[in-house]
Structure 1
Amino acid sequence: MSTPVLPAPVRTFVEATNRGDSDAFAAAFTEDAYLNDWGREFHGRDGVRAWDRTDNIGVQAHFEPRSVEPGPDPDSYVVTLTVTGNGYNGTGPMTFHLRDGLIASLRISG
């Protein structure tokens, strides 16, 4: 299976996670970012950093992109990722909304 071509901010999100770079991970998001992980809400870069510590790099998550499709809105993408690590393990969609070359929002759900 070939690796899907990801929009640049999503590629940064994946690559920063996989190398454990929390600063680069947070920098991929807008200052006013919104992250929703199965109903748990995080706001701004501080919220993104908190989620990263508890649910992402903090649990040694690793992402393997499976597919990318246009999302429901302009500048949005549904990216299916396989996640492994010491937290959640499985494959599912993440919906990214981009603005000004960064991730403005991320929704993780089934």
Structure 2
Amino acid sequence: MSEQIPAAVQRALTAIDEQDNDAFVAAFAADGYVDDWGRQFRGHDRIRSWSENELIGKQATFTDTEVSTPGNPLTIVTQVGGAGYNGPSHFTFDIENDQITSMTITA
């Protein structure tokens, strides 16, 4: 599967696995954003705060991750666990210049 995942997305997924918020934020472009079910968090500071409260700060885990739509944008489906949301989710990533420009989370 990793050959289907662009390097920027793989860096973000590895950061989640390692619970490394700095590395997660670094995978994004400076003006990149997270769209969490319609709530948008743009720029490194807001992405960091979102992750501290919703993702890495909640010890999120991703298991059974599969690419459901290859390419750019790329969509993965994964089982989210941890101290926050638990359940299946789709994450769609747009990538430009080896950085994530957006990550959109849906059901």
TM-score higher than 0.5? yes
Percentage identity across aligned positions?
A: 39
**1:98 is matched with which residue?**
95
Aligned partner of 2:105: which letter? I
Structure 1 segments, 4+ long, off by >3 Å, are none
Segments of structure 1 that go 5 or more residues without pairing to the other structure are: none
Between 56-65 and 26-35, the greater mean CA deviation after superposition: 56-65
Contact kept, 8 Å, 1:65 with 1:79, in 2: the verdict is no
RMSD: 1.2
Aligned partner of 1:83: which letter? V
Displacement of 1:65 after TM fit? 4.8
**2:7 is matched with which residue?**
8
Displacement of 1:66 after TM fit? 2.4
Render the CA deviation track for 1:39-66: whole Å, top value 9, x for unaligned.
1110111111011101111000011252
Aligned partner of 2:103: which letter? L
**1:18 is matched with which residue?**
17
Aligned partner of 1:25: which letter? F
1:49 aligns to what SS in structure 2?
Answer: helix
**2:63 is matched with which residue?**
64
**2:105 is matched with which residue?**
108
2:16 aligns to what SS in structure 1?
Answer: helix
**2:51 is matched with which residue?**
52
Segments of structure 2 that go 5 or more residues without pairing to the other structure are: none
CA distance in 2, matches of 1:30, 1:67: 24
Aligned partner of 2:90: which letter? P
**2:29 is matched with which residue?**
30
